[in-house]
Amino acid sequence: MDEAEDAFELRALQPDDSFTSMRAGHERFTPLKLFARKNAKKYEAENLARTYVVHDRVHKRSAAYVTLVCSEVTSGPELVREDGLHFPYDTYPAVKIARLLVDDRYRGQGLGVHLVNFAQGIAKAEICPAIGCRFVVVDSKAESIKFYERCGFTLVDTGENRARLEPVMYLDLHKAQ
């Protein structure tokens, strides 16, 4: 989002936002488009999720979106290796990127990275100071693992997780920029 940044607006989901013209690209991303069309506004109204939209002002359409929810990640030695940390629970609090989709026509323009950074920023600036939260997590589609790794996420390193169709990845907010 460099020179064309003025063409885009990142905003909270609005009642008149439409996702019907979004192009999911790979068929495995179709459920992300369907969620946006059928459930995003319902989940918003029921306080089950918050969706943020990158709106293309020029073409007057949704170019990308991210949906965030509260979550948790199972603790393990690979998550927190700090000496002296005592957290007596089996899970750590997290913000989850529940859905993220960039319209096929906008891929390669940095919108996905921008949305991941936005999610991380909300976690660090709004959630951590208010209630405590250590991680951002995502159930990544296999096609998106490399993207999330470039964004600083790490695959939860267990055989069970690696075998999942959508393995869990995490970003430690204490170590993230």
Domain of 61, in residue numbers: 5-172
Name the band, by pLDDT with cuts 50, 70 and 90, for residue 1: very low
Report the domain count for the chain. 1
For residue 150, is it within any domain? yes
Q: Where residue 53 sits, what CATH number does that domain have? A: 3.40.630.30
Per-residue confidence band for 55, with pLDDT thresholds at 50, 70 and 90: very high
User: For residue 16, what are the contacts with CB-CB under 8 A and spacing of at least 6?
Assistant: none
Q: How confident is the model at residue 175 (pLDDT cuts 50, 70, 90)?
A: confident
Please indicate, yes or no, if residue 15 is contained in any of the structural domains: yes
Sign of the alpha-carbon dihedral angle for 132, 177, 68, 147: negative
CA–CA separation, 176 vs 120, rounded Å?
8
With respect to residue 162, please indicate whether it lies within any of the assigned structural domains. yes
Rounded to an integer, what is the distance from CA 119 to the centroid of its chain?
A: 6
Are 8 and 57 a contacting pair, CB within 8 Å?
Answer: yes
Residue 21 maps to a domain: yes
pLDDT 10s digits, 81-120: 565 567 788 888 999 999 999 999 999 999 999 999 999 9
The DSSP line for 100-164 is EEE-GGGTTSSHHHHHHHHHHHHIIIIIHHHH---EEEEE--GGGHHHHHHTT-EE---HHHHTS
Residue 160 covered by a domain:
yes
pTM score, two decimals? 0.90
**Would 177 be classed as within a structural domain?**
no
Domain assignment present for residue 142? The answer is yes
Instruction: List, for residues 138-174, the tens digit of each pLDDT value.
Output: 999 988 999 999 999 999 888 888 899 899 999 989 8
Taking the CA atoms of 147, 153, 159 and 160 in sequence, report the sign of the dihedral they define. Answer: negative
